[in-house]
Amino acid sequence: MNILVVDDNKCIRDVIGAMVLASEHQPIVVDGHVAALDKLRRLVIDVILMDIEMPEVDGLTLTRMVRKEFSQWIPIIFLSANDSARYLAEGIEAGGDDYLTKPVKEEILNAKILAMARIARMKQQLDEANKKLEMLSCIDPLTNVLNRRGLERELQESWQQNIKQRQELSLLMLDIDFFKAYNDHYGHPRGDQCLRQVATVLTGTLLKGEELLARYGGEEFVMLLPATSLSQARSRGRNIIAALNQAEIVHEFSDIAPWVTVSIGISSNTLGAKNPLALIEQADQALYQAKRRGRMQCVL
Protein backbone atom coordinates (compact mmCIF):
# COMPACT_ATOMS: atom_id res chain seq x y z
CA MET A 1 0.00 0.00 0.00
CA ASN A 2 1.05 3.59 -0.59
CA ILE A 3 1.07 5.48 2.69
CA LEU A 4 1.33 9.26 2.52
CA VAL A 5 3.17 10.65 5.55
CA VAL A 6 2.64 14.40 6.09
CA ASP A 7 4.76 16.02 8.79
CA ASP A 8 6.75 19.24 8.97
CA ASN A 9 9.33 17.68 11.32
CA LYS A 10 12.05 15.81 9.44
CA CYS A 11 12.97 13.48 12.35
CA ILE A 12 9.35 12.38 12.74
CA ARG A 13 8.98 11.94 8.98
CA ASP A 14 12.02 9.67 8.96
CA VAL A 15 10.83 7.61 11.95
CA ILE A 16 7.28 7.15 10.67
CA GLY A 17 8.55 6.49 7.14
CA ALA A 18 10.83 3.76 8.48
CA MET A 19 7.95 2.18 10.43
CA VAL A 20 5.76 2.15 7.34
CA LEU A 21 8.56 0.56 5.36
CA ALA A 22 9.13 -2.05 8.08
CA SER A 23 5.44 -2.97 7.79
CA GLU A 24 6.08 -3.59 4.10
CA HIS A 25 4.15 -0.60 2.83
CA GLN A 26 5.49 2.14 0.59
CA PRO A 27 5.96 5.41 2.49
CA ILE A 28 5.56 8.62 0.51
CA VAL A 29 6.94 11.30 2.77
CA VAL A 30 6.14 15.01 2.44
CA ASP A 31 6.65 18.11 4.60
CA GLY A 32 3.42 20.02 4.10
CA HIS A 33 0.24 20.72 2.16
CA VAL A 34 1.72 21.64 -1.23
CA ALA A 35 3.64 18.41 -1.64
CA ALA A 36 0.81 16.38 -0.05
CA LEU A 37 -1.82 17.63 -2.52
CA ASP A 38 0.61 17.15 -5.38
CA LYS A 39 1.17 13.49 -4.44
CA LEU A 40 -2.56 12.91 -3.97
CA ARG A 41 -3.24 14.25 -7.45
CA ARG A 42 -0.59 12.11 -9.10
CA LEU A 43 -0.46 8.86 -7.13
CA VAL A 44 -2.85 6.29 -5.75
CA ILE A 45 -2.65 6.79 -2.00
CA ASP A 46 -4.20 4.18 0.30
CA VAL A 47 -3.86 5.83 3.71
CA ILE A 48 -2.73 9.28 4.88
CA LEU A 49 -0.82 9.73 8.14
CA MET A 50 -1.36 13.39 8.98
CA ASP A 51 0.47 15.63 11.43
CA ILE A 52 -1.75 18.29 13.02
CA GLU A 53 0.55 21.15 13.93
CA MET A 54 2.28 22.41 10.82
CA PRO A 55 3.20 25.96 9.71
CA GLU A 56 1.17 27.60 6.92
CA VAL A 57 -1.57 24.99 6.60
CA ASP A 58 -2.22 22.72 9.59
CA GLY A 59 -3.40 19.11 9.41
CA LEU A 60 -7.04 19.95 10.13
CA THR A 61 -7.20 22.47 7.28
CA LEU A 62 -5.33 20.14 4.94
CA THR A 63 -7.80 17.38 5.81
CA ARG A 64 -10.70 19.66 4.84
CA MET A 65 -8.89 20.50 1.59
CA VAL A 66 -8.40 16.82 0.80
CA ARG A 67 -12.03 15.98 1.51
CA LYS A 68 -13.17 18.84 -0.69
CA GLU A 69 -10.93 18.09 -3.66
CA PHE A 70 -11.02 14.29 -3.81
CA SER A 71 -14.35 12.52 -4.11
CA GLN A 72 -12.79 9.12 -3.42
CA TRP A 73 -12.48 8.48 0.29
CA ILE A 74 -8.89 8.04 1.48
CA PRO A 75 -8.53 7.16 5.17
CA ILE A 76 -6.77 9.85 7.21
CA ILE A 77 -5.11 8.99 10.52
CA PHE A 78 -3.87 11.94 12.55
CA LEU A 79 -0.54 11.60 14.30
CA SER A 80 -0.10 14.29 16.92
CA ALA A 81 2.08 14.87 19.95
CA ASN A 82 -0.94 16.56 21.50
CA ASP A 83 -3.32 14.11 23.16
CA SER A 84 -6.07 16.61 23.95
CA ALA A 85 -9.63 15.39 23.45
CA ARG A 86 -10.47 18.62 21.67
CA TYR A 87 -7.85 18.00 18.99
CA LEU A 88 -9.17 14.52 18.44
CA ALA A 89 -12.76 15.73 18.16
CA GLU A 90 -11.79 18.54 15.79
CA GLY A 91 -9.76 16.14 13.70
CA ILE A 92 -12.66 13.77 13.24
CA GLU A 93 -14.99 16.67 12.51
CA ALA A 94 -12.58 17.98 9.87
CA GLY A 95 -12.92 14.67 8.06
CA GLY A 96 -10.23 12.52 9.67
CA ASP A 97 -10.87 8.92 10.62
CA ASP A 98 -8.57 8.08 13.51
CA TYR A 99 -6.13 9.75 15.87
CA LEU A 100 -2.88 8.44 17.32
CA THR A 101 -0.60 10.17 19.79
CA LYS A 102 3.10 10.45 19.04
CA PRO A 103 5.35 8.68 19.78
CA VAL A 104 3.49 5.80 18.22
CA LYS A 105 4.31 2.09 18.40
CA GLU A 106 5.02 0.41 15.11
CA GLU A 107 2.55 -2.47 15.76
CA ILE A 108 -0.25 -0.06 16.58
CA LEU A 109 0.44 2.11 13.56
CA ASN A 110 0.48 -0.89 11.24
CA ALA A 111 -2.70 -2.33 12.75
CA LYS A 112 -4.50 1.00 12.31
CA ILE A 113 -3.30 1.24 8.71
CA LEU A 114 -4.61 -2.26 7.98
CA ALA A 115 -7.97 -1.56 9.62
CA MET A 116 -8.43 1.65 7.65
CA ALA A 117 -7.35 0.08 4.39
CA ARG A 118 -9.83 -2.73 4.96
CA ILE A 119 -12.71 -0.27 5.33
CA ALA A 120 -11.50 1.65 2.28
CA ARG A 121 -11.52 -1.55 0.22
CA MET A 122 -15.06 -2.36 1.33
CA LYS A 123 -16.18 1.13 0.45
CA GLN A 124 -14.58 0.86 -2.95
CA GLN A 125 -16.37 -2.44 -3.61
CA LEU A 126 -19.62 -0.85 -2.54
CA ASP A 127 -19.04 2.14 -4.84
CA GLU A 128 -18.33 -0.17 -7.75
CA ALA A 129 -21.40 -2.29 -7.06
CA ASN A 130 -23.50 0.87 -6.87
CA LYS A 131 -22.15 2.10 -10.17
CA LYS A 132 -22.96 -1.23 -11.79
CA LEU A 133 -26.47 -1.21 -10.34
CA GLU A 134 -27.01 2.31 -11.57
CA MET A 135 -25.94 1.29 -15.06
CA LEU A 136 -28.19 -1.77 -14.96
CA SER A 137 -31.10 0.34 -13.80
CA CYS A 138 -30.89 2.22 -17.11
CA ILE A 139 -30.93 -0.87 -19.35
CA ASP A 140 -34.01 -2.74 -20.58
CA PRO A 141 -33.36 -6.41 -19.78
CA LEU A 142 -35.42 -7.72 -22.70
CA THR A 143 -33.74 -5.82 -25.54
CA ASN A 144 -30.53 -4.64 -23.87
CA VAL A 145 -31.06 -1.10 -25.12
CA LEU A 146 -31.59 1.86 -22.76
CA ASN A 147 -34.86 1.89 -20.89
CA ARG A 148 -37.02 4.92 -20.25
CA ARG A 149 -35.04 6.01 -17.21
CA GLY A 150 -31.80 5.76 -19.22
CA LEU A 151 -33.35 7.73 -22.04
CA GLU A 152 -34.55 10.50 -19.76
CA ARG A 153 -31.10 10.82 -18.26
CA GLU A 154 -29.35 10.90 -21.65
CA LEU A 155 -31.93 13.22 -23.15
CA GLN A 156 -31.38 15.72 -20.36
CA GLU A 157 -27.67 15.71 -21.12
CA SER A 158 -28.06 15.90 -24.91
CA TRP A 159 -30.53 18.74 -24.50
CA GLN A 160 -28.04 20.83 -22.49
CA GLN A 161 -25.21 19.96 -24.87
CA ASN A 162 -27.16 20.83 -27.99
CA ILE A 163 -28.46 24.10 -26.55
CA LYS A 164 -24.91 25.05 -25.60
CA GLN A 165 -23.54 24.20 -29.04
CA ARG A 166 -26.63 25.62 -30.79
CA GLN A 167 -27.18 22.35 -32.59
CA GLU A 168 -30.39 20.73 -33.67
CA LEU A 169 -31.57 17.77 -31.70
CA SER A 170 -34.07 15.42 -33.29
CA LEU A 171 -36.10 12.68 -31.68
CA LEU A 172 -37.96 9.78 -33.25
CA MET A 173 -40.76 7.99 -31.45
CA LEU A 174 -41.38 4.58 -33.01
CA ASP A 175 -44.28 2.23 -32.35
CA ILE A 176 -44.73 -1.25 -33.78
CA ASP A 177 -47.86 -1.55 -35.93
CA PHE A 178 -50.53 -4.10 -34.97
CA PHE A 179 -48.36 -5.59 -32.27
CA LYS A 180 -51.32 -6.70 -30.20
CA ALA A 181 -52.32 -8.93 -33.10
CA TYR A 182 -48.76 -10.28 -33.19
CA ASN A 183 -48.94 -11.23 -29.52
CA ASP A 184 -52.45 -12.63 -29.84
CA HIS A 185 -51.52 -14.94 -32.70
CA TYR A 186 -47.92 -15.90 -32.01
CA GLY A 187 -47.97 -15.72 -28.23
CA HIS A 188 -46.10 -13.55 -25.76
CA PRO A 189 -42.72 -15.31 -25.94
CA ARG A 190 -42.53 -14.75 -29.68
CA GLY A 191 -43.73 -11.20 -29.10
CA ASP A 192 -40.71 -10.74 -26.84
CA GLN A 193 -38.46 -12.24 -29.48
CA CYS A 194 -39.94 -9.83 -32.02
CA LEU A 195 -39.17 -6.86 -29.76
CA ARG A 196 -35.54 -8.02 -29.59
CA GLN A 197 -35.35 -8.35 -33.35
CA VAL A 198 -36.82 -4.90 -33.89
CA ALA A 199 -34.36 -3.42 -31.36
CA THR A 200 -31.50 -5.06 -33.27
CA VAL A 201 -32.67 -3.67 -36.61
CA LEU A 202 -33.12 -0.19 -35.10
CA THR A 203 -29.71 -0.29 -33.44
CA GLY A 204 -28.25 -1.20 -36.82
CA THR A 205 -29.46 2.11 -38.24
CA LEU A 206 -27.63 4.25 -35.68
CA LEU A 207 -24.83 6.25 -37.30
CA LYS A 208 -22.90 8.39 -34.85
CA GLY A 209 -21.60 7.48 -31.40
CA GLU A 210 -23.79 10.04 -29.64
CA GLU A 211 -27.00 8.69 -31.19
CA LEU A 212 -29.00 6.33 -29.06
CA LEU A 213 -31.93 3.99 -28.99
CA ALA A 214 -34.18 3.37 -26.00
CA ARG A 215 -37.18 1.19 -25.33
CA TYR A 216 -39.64 3.78 -24.13
CA GLY A 217 -42.50 1.47 -23.24
CA GLY A 218 -44.07 -1.84 -24.33
CA GLU A 219 -43.58 -1.78 -28.11
CA GLU A 220 -42.43 1.83 -28.33
CA PHE A 221 -38.90 2.92 -28.98
CA VAL A 222 -37.23 6.33 -29.00
CA MET A 223 -34.25 7.25 -31.12
CA LEU A 224 -32.31 10.34 -30.11
CA LEU A 225 -30.33 12.04 -32.87
CA PRO A 226 -28.07 14.90 -31.74
CA ALA A 227 -26.75 17.31 -34.38
CA THR A 228 -29.43 16.10 -36.80
CA SER A 229 -31.78 18.44 -38.67
CA LEU A 230 -35.45 17.77 -39.11
CA SER A 231 -35.06 16.82 -42.77
CA GLN A 232 -32.16 14.52 -41.92
CA ALA A 233 -34.31 12.98 -39.20
CA ARG A 234 -37.09 12.39 -41.69
CA SER A 235 -34.76 10.57 -44.04
CA ARG A 236 -33.48 8.53 -41.10
CA GLY A 237 -37.07 7.56 -40.35
CA ARG A 238 -37.57 6.43 -43.92
CA ASN A 239 -34.37 4.40 -43.70
CA ILE A 240 -35.69 2.69 -40.60
CA ILE A 241 -38.92 1.75 -42.38
CA ALA A 242 -36.85 0.42 -45.28
CA ALA A 243 -34.56 -1.53 -42.92
CA LEU A 244 -37.58 -3.23 -41.32
CA ASN A 245 -39.04 -4.02 -44.73
CA GLN A 246 -35.74 -5.66 -45.57
CA ALA A 247 -35.57 -7.55 -42.26
CA GLU A 248 -38.97 -9.13 -43.02
CA ILE A 249 -39.83 -10.17 -39.48
CA VAL A 250 -42.90 -12.19 -40.41
CA HIS A 251 -46.23 -10.81 -39.18
CA GLU A 252 -49.10 -12.49 -41.03
CA PHE A 253 -51.71 -10.67 -38.96
CA SER A 254 -50.69 -7.11 -39.71
CA ASP A 255 -53.16 -5.18 -41.83
CA ILE A 256 -50.42 -3.29 -43.60
CA ALA A 257 -47.65 -5.70 -44.63
CA PRO A 258 -46.79 -9.39 -44.15
CA TRP A 259 -43.96 -8.38 -41.84
CA VAL A 260 -43.37 -6.15 -38.81
CA THR A 261 -43.54 -2.42 -39.52
CA VAL A 262 -43.37 0.72 -37.40
CA SER A 263 -44.95 4.14 -37.42
CA ILE A 264 -42.70 7.07 -36.57
CA GLY A 265 -43.30 10.49 -35.07
CA ILE A 266 -40.50 13.02 -35.39
CA SER A 267 -39.74 16.12 -33.33
CA SER A 268 -36.85 18.53 -33.12
CA ASN A 269 -35.81 21.32 -30.80
CA THR A 270 -36.20 23.66 -33.80
CA LEU A 271 -39.96 23.07 -33.70
CA GLY A 272 -40.34 25.07 -30.51
CA ALA A 273 -40.04 22.44 -27.77
CA LYS A 274 -38.93 24.28 -24.66
CA ASN A 275 -37.63 21.25 -22.77
CA PRO A 276 -36.84 17.55 -23.23
CA LEU A 277 -40.30 16.51 -22.11
CA ALA A 278 -41.92 18.69 -24.78
CA LEU A 279 -39.65 17.07 -27.36
CA ILE A 280 -41.03 13.65 -26.44
CA GLU A 281 -44.61 14.95 -26.36
CA GLN A 282 -44.32 16.45 -29.83
CA ALA A 283 -42.91 13.22 -31.23
CA ASP A 284 -45.73 11.32 -29.56
CA GLN A 285 -48.35 13.57 -31.17
CA ALA A 286 -46.67 13.15 -34.56
CA LEU A 287 -46.69 9.38 -33.99
CA TYR A 288 -50.41 9.51 -33.34
CA GLN A 289 -50.83 11.24 -36.71
CA ALA A 290 -48.68 8.60 -38.41
CA LYS A 291 -51.02 5.93 -37.02
CA ARG A 292 -54.11 7.83 -38.12
CA ARG A 293 -52.77 8.34 -41.61
CA GLY A 294 -52.39 4.59 -42.11
CA ARG A 295 -49.19 3.48 -40.28
CA MET A 296 -45.75 2.48 -41.65
CA GLN A 297 -44.82 6.12 -42.22
CA CYS A 298 -43.03 9.08 -40.65
CA VAL A 299 -44.79 12.27 -39.60
CA LEU A 300 -43.19 15.50 -38.39
| Chain residues in the site for ligand GH3 (CB under 6 A) | 142, 175-180, 183, 188, 191-192, 195, 218-219, 291, 295
284 forms part of the interface with Mg ion (CB under 5 A): no
- Dihedral of the CA atoms 275, 280, 283, 284 (nearest 10)? -140
| Binds 192: which of ligand GH3, Mg ion, none (CB < 5-8 Å by kind) | ligand GH3
By CB under 5 A, is residue 175 in contact with Mg ion?
Answer: yes
Q: How far is the CB of 212 from Mg ion (least distance, A)?
A: 20
CA-to-CA distance for 156 and 163, rounded, in angstroms?
Answer: 11
Q: Which stretch binds Mg ion (CB under 5 A): 53-61, 99-107, 239-247, 248-256?
A: 53-61
Minimal distance, residue 152 CB to ligand GH3, in Å: 19
The minimum distance between CB 203 and Mg ion, in angstroms, equals 19
- Burial of 131-159, coded b for 16+ CB within 10 Å and e otherwise, reads eeeeeeebbbeebebbbbebbbebbeebb
Beta carbon of residue 98, minimum distance to ligand GH3 (angstroms, whole number): 52
Q: C-beta of 202: minimal distance to ligand GH3 in Å? A: 15
228 Cβ neighbours under 8 A, 6+ residues apart: 168, 169, 170, 211, 236, 268
Residue 106: name its binding partner from ligand GH3, Mg ion, none (Cβ under 5 to 8 Å by kind): none
Residue 180 interaction partner, one of ligand GH3, Mg ion, none, beta carbon < 5-8 Å per kind: ligand GH3
Least Å distance, CB 131 to ligand GH3, is 27
Contact of 167 with 188, CB cutoff 8 Å: no
- Whole-angstrom distance, CA of residue 69 vs CA of residue 251: 58
Which residues does 128 contact at the CB level (< 8 Å), separation at least 6? none
- The backbone torsions φ and ψ at residue 221, rounded to the nearest 5 degrees and listed phi first, read -120, 155
Active site residues: 219
End-to-end CA distance of the chain: 60
Q: How many CA atoms lie within 13 A of 150 on its CB side?
A: 23
Is 182 a residue that touches Mg ion (CB under 5 A)?
no
- The reply on whether position 58 binds Mg ion by CB under 5 A is no
Of 172-180, 195-203, 227-235, 268-276, which part binds Mg ion (CB under 5 A)? 172-180
Q: Which of residues 32-51 bind Mg ion (CB under 5 A)?
A: 51
Q: Which is nearer to ligand GH3, 82 or 137 (CB)?
A: 137
Number of residues counted as binding Mg ion (CB under 5 A): 8
Position among 78, 99, 159, 179 found at the interface with Mg ion (CB under 5 A): 179
DSSP 28-85: EEESSHHHHHHHHHHS--SEEEEES--SSS-HHHHHHHHHHH--S---EEEEES---H
* Comparison of 154 and 219: residue with beta carbon closer to ligand GH3: 219
Pick 36 or 176: Cβ nearer ligand GH3:
176
Which does residue 53 touch among Mg ion, ligand GH3, none (CB within 5 to 8 A, set by kind)?
Mg ion
Instruction: Name which of 45 and 176 has its Cβ closer to Mg ion.
Output: 176
For 214, counting Cβ atoms within 10 Å of its Cβ (0-12 exposed, 13-18 middle, 19+ buried), the class is: buried
